[in-house]
Amino acid sequence: MLDRAPQTFDAKDDATAWLSAKRRLIEYDEWASPVERRTQQVARGLSLESYAHQWLEDRV
């Protein structure tokens, strides 16, 4: 499954930075697919409030 950007970017540099961060996670073997991340969150018993805060932070 693809890991899509949270929004379109105003500048190419912003998109490049986002992509670089994702590549860094892959390089350090820390990247997880969106499905895996959701599964991990459910397994940890993440509350809706915590999930919402995390989701909002990730969209910035």
Range of the domain at 53: 13-58
**Number of domains present in the structure of the chain:** 1
Q: State residue 20's pLDDT score.
A: 92
Dist. CA 60–CA 42, nearest whole Å: 23
**For each of the chain's 60 residues, which pLDDT tens digit applies?**
567 787 889 999 999 998 998 899 889 888 888 788 778 777 777 788 888 888 888 876
Q: State residue 11's pLDDT score.
A: 93
Q: State residue 1's pLDDT score.
A: 57
Whether 3 is covered by a domain: the verdict is: no
Strands (E), 1-60: none
**Tokens in use for 8?**
């379109």
Whether 21 is covered by a domain: the verdict is: yes
Tokens 């940890």 belong to 44
Q: State residue 10's pLDDT score.
A: 92
Tell me, what DSSP letter sits at residue 16? Answer: H
Number of H helices, E strands in the chain: 3, 0
Dist. CA 54–CA 59, nearest whole Å: 9
